[in-house]
Amino acid sequence: MWFGATIGAIRYDGDHWEYREGKRWVPGNDIRAIAVNQEGGAWLATNHGVGLIERRPMTLAEKAEFYEDEIDKYNRRTPFGYVMSAVLEKPGDKAQWRNRDDDNDGQWTGEYGAAECFAYAATKDPQARERATQAFEALRFFSQVTQGGSHPAPKGFPARTILPVEGARNPNLESSYSIESDVKRKESDLLWKVLHPRWPTSADGKWYWKCDTSSDELDGHYFINARYYDLVAETEEEKDRVRQVVRDMTDHLIEHDFKLVDHDGKPTRWANFSPDTLNRDPWWWTERGLNSLSILSYLRVAEHVTGDPKYGDIAEELAWKESFAANAMYPKYQRGPGSFVQFDDEMAFMNYYNLLLYEKDPRVREMILLSFHEYWELLESELDPFFNFAHAALCEG
């Protein structure tokens, strides 16, 4: 049964309600007439024209092909092909669009690339391999571009994102990246960093790279690195590239007390996994669960990829001596309706996936498995494919 309203269309099938708002599903919000055809499709006359909502059966491969084509057309930035959102100049009109840098280029591109790794493992499609390799190399460049240049970062530090120097305005001149802006923001966020420049230049002078990299980005890096190593890399040369970037990044964290340290010699705002910070600093208690889960996951990925047992030994020490395994059982401090933030959920599930694959201590794995299942139960109704497939792969049976 369909209902028309001035704020969109509503469908009820006897068990579930569905809401279809204007411009996303139909041309306008003011629904003036509805006609349902024999196939169950609904024609809706609106204040901005007529639209059709239909259910079109398709395979997962067909659905993936549609979205991959859309990404290749609209959602890539720079020759490296970073995957991010596209902004349409006119709503609903894909004739003109623009892309811009995003603080989470590392996370989004990492998730996309990991999906292509899974696609290659399932199909052996050479195009999936090409896309996965491009995404891996794009994120590997984030760790290379920070070395040398105007304000070099310590080895193993990945950039948030990059911009070409040629033809671009110096982003450091934007008011949002000024010292004054940082000082103002610190008034509402006491842990915010006053840092300049936010966009150092690379050693070859071709790129601005953004600093103050967050834990979000590291989650994306480790997620694709592990998938690429296991599912795509076939030659020793390919595997060595993964080993090197994972080793450098993980050693950086270990050598800096489990903190990601920027070009100014200080930790970034969000990538802090130190036991002293998470367990003993009251300002960081909200990050305790998720960041504990993250660092345990990173260390097990590093152990798996490099074969060096030191990473597993450190993970074991954090898990028990610093109670990170217990911390990781509760990665979200908020519970209840409206309390979840989607990108935090994605971060948690990437780390759950890696940790449950590579954790060698059965006690820790049992604790994390329980945490993962409980978390998924809270998100099950969202019908998120990644969440559901990850849970099915690791918790079912």
Q: Give yes or no for a contact between 271 and 218, defined as CB atoms under 8 angstroms apart.
A: yes
> What integer pLDDT is reported at residue 7 of this predicted model?
95
How far is Cα 235 from Cα 243, in angstroms, rounded to an integer?
Answer: 12
Q: What is the pLDDT of residues 320-341, one digit of tens each?
A: 999 999 999 999 876 666 666 7
CA–CA distances in Å: residue 386 to residues 103, 192, 235, 370, 391: 22, 32, 28, 18, 8
Q: What is the pLDDT of residues 214-225, one digit of tens each?
A: 999 999 999 999
Q: What is the mean pLDDT of the chain?
A: 95
Query: What length is written for the chain?
Result: 397
> What integer pLDDT is reported at residue 23 of this predicted model?
86
How far is Cα 85 from Cα 160, in angstroms, rounded to an integer?
Answer: 16
Residue 93: pLDDT over 90: no
Q: Report the half-sphere exposure of 163 (CA within 13 A, side-chain side).
A: 19
> What integer pLDDT is reported at residue 228 of this predicted model?
99
> What integer pLDDT is reported at residue 378 of this predicted model?
87
Torsion of CA 308, 272, 354, 70, to 10 degrees: -120
Q: Give yes or no for a contact between 270 and 214, defined as CB atoms under 8 angstroms apart.
A: yes
> What integer pLDDT is reported at residue 396 of this predicted model?
75
Calculate what percentage of the chain has a pLDDT beyond 70: 98
Strand partners, 267: 261
Number of helices and strands in the chain (H, E): 13, 14
Q: What's this model's pTM, rounded to 2 decimal places?
A: 0.94
How far is Cα 234 from Cα 97, in angstroms, rounded to an integer?
Answer: 37
Q: What is the pLDDT of residues 241-289, one digit of tens each?
A: 999 999 999 999 999 999 999 999 999 999 999 999 999 999 999 999 9
> What integer pLDDT is reported at residue 333 of this predicted model?
72
Order across the sheet with 8-12: list the strands. 2-5, 8-12, 17-20
What integer is the mean pLDDT of 370-391? 93
CA–CA distances in Å: residue 311 to residues 165, 272, 358: 38, 18, 12
> What integer pLDDT is reported at residue 338 of this predicted model?
63
Residue 347: pLDDT over 80: yes
- Token pair of 118, please? 């899974």
How far is Cα 54 from Cα 190, in angstroms, rounded to an integer?
Answer: 50
Write the Ramachandran bin of 200: left for phi over 0, alpha for psi from -120 to 50, otherwise beta. beta
Q: What is the pLDDT of residues 69-87, one digit of tens each?
A: 999 999 999 999 999 999 9
Q: What is the pLDDT of residues 15-62, one digit of tens each?
A: 999 999 998 899 999 999 999 999 999 999 999 999 999 999 999 999
φ/ψ of 361, rounded to 5, equals: -85, 110
Q: With bands split at pLDDT 50, 70 and 90, how would you rate the model's confidence at 342?
A: confident
Cβ neighbour number for residue 15 with a 10 Å cutoff: 5
Q: Give yes or no for a contact between 98 and 89, defined as CB atoms under 8 angstroms apart.
A: yes
Residue 211: pLDDT over 70: yes
What integer is the mean pLDDT of 299-325? 99
Q: What is the pLDDT of residues 116-175, one digit of tens each?
A: 999 999 999 999 999 999 999 999 999 999 999 999 999 999 999 999 999 889 999 999
Give the torsion sign (CA, 223, 224, 227, 229).
negative
Contacts for 319-327: CB closer than 8 Å, 24+ residues apart: 319/361, 319/364, 322/275, 322/279, 323/279, 324/275, 324/278, 324/292, 324/295, 324/296, 325/292, 325/296, 325/363, 325/364, 325/367, 325/368, 326/367, 327/278, 327/279, 327/288, 327/289, 327/292, 327/293
> What integer pLDDT is reported at residue 334 of this predicted model?
66
Cβ neighbour number for residue 73 with a 10 Å cutoff: 11
How far is Cα 325 from Cα 314, in angstroms, rounded to an integer?
Answer: 13
The residue type at 91: P
> What integer pLDDT is reported at residue 299 of this predicted model?
99
Give the torsion sign (CA, 241, 64, 216, 372).
negative
Peptide bond before residue 197 is cis, with ω within 30 degrees of 0? yes
